Amino acid sequence: MKYFILFGPPGAGKGTQATAMAEKFNLCHISTGALLREEIKAETELGKVAASLINEGKLVPNELVVSMMASHFEKVKGVDGFLLDGFPRTVEQAISLDNLLAERGEAVSNVLSIMIPDEMIVERIQGRAAVEGRADDADISIIRQRIATYHSQTEPLIEYYQEKGLYKEVDGTGSIEQVREAIFAIL
Ligand code: ATP
Ligand code: MG
């Protein structure tokens, strides 16, 4: 099985690109953000914990996200691999993922990062706020907090995967098609 990680700041276009990648390479696209939003909608215990944190621009506790991922790896059949979008988001999560995959005799195949500058993050998220109706997209102070969370907790993963020789980056500032071509050229 392939385990691709789609990396990048909030609003970089991970979800958009994931759809095309999953189709082309027969991967199961798993977005932790989308899964958490489903938990919130279903008003589960996990959803209740997640809702307040997400709407403060903070991360959901590692152990909750990791167990959510583990149960998905078990459930999904009939694909050539997984495309992880929004996970891992901390070095601790990356280590948990490595351990989880090692138990199955597997490993992360590639980390593909879509990079955009902070000001473009704000612009894009504000642009989609009306379309997607996410509470965490609607407020500039939450967006700023998510960017801060990204820099402090998620960005260190770049070095983590660079050291393993797995990290590749594309420029996310172009059109959807341009970014897609850049990704396919690498994969
Ligand atoms: P994008 O817009 O590129 O999809 P995003 O950061 O705007 O990225 P999601 O990935 O959907 O949005 O995540 C939304 C929120 O869900 C995060 O701000 C965070 O609170 C929570 N979340 C998602 N994934 C994780 C994770 N792996 N660990 C902890 N919290 C997470
Ligand atoms: Mg997303």
Average pLDDT, the chain: 96
Listed residue (2, 11, 28, 12) closest to 182, CA to CA: 12
Looking at ligand 1, which atom is closest to the CA of residue 93? 27
- Ligand 1 neighbourhood includes 10 CB (under 6 angstroms): yes
**What mean pLDDT is predicted for residues 34-51?**
95
Q: Give CA separation, 15 vs 31, 83, 104, 168, in Å.
A: 8, 10, 27, 18
**What mean pLDDT is predicted for residues 104-118?**
97
pLDDT in tens, 60-101: 999 999 999 998 888 898 999 999 999 999 999 999 999 999
- Ligand 1 neighbourhood includes 81 CB (under 6 angstroms): no
- Ligand 1 neighbourhood includes 142 CB (under 6 angstroms): no
Ligand 1 binding pocket mutation candidate from 52, 146, 147, 170 (most atoms within 8 A of CB): 146
**What mean pLDDT is predicted for residues 28-45?**
96
Return all residues near 59 (Cβ < 8 A) that are at least 6 apart. Answer: 53, 65, 89, 90, 149, 153
pLDDT in tens, 129-138: 989 999 999 9
Looking at ligand 1, which atom is closest to the CA of residue 32? 24
Looking at ligand 1, which atom is closest to the CA of residue 14? 3
Q: Please give the pLDDT value at position 33.
A: 95
Residues with CB under 5 A from ligand 2 (ion): 15, 33
Give the CA count within 13 Å in the CB-facing half-sphere of 3: 18
Which residue, by CA, sits nearest to atom 23 of ligand 1? 33
Question: Residues 9, 133, 180, 148: what is their CA dihedral angle, to the nearest 10 degrees?
Answer: -10
pLDDT in tens, 163-176: 999 999 999 999 99
Give 62 Cα–ligand 1 centroid separation in angstroms. 12
Whether the model clears a pTM of 0.75, i.e. scores above it, the answer is yes
Q: Please give the pLDDT value at position 74.
A: 87
- Ligand 1 neighbourhood includes 60 CB (under 6 angstroms): yes
Give 86 Cα–ligand 2 centroid separation in angstroms. 7
pLDDT in tens, 120-162: 999 999 999 989 999 999 999 999 999 999 999 999 999 999 9
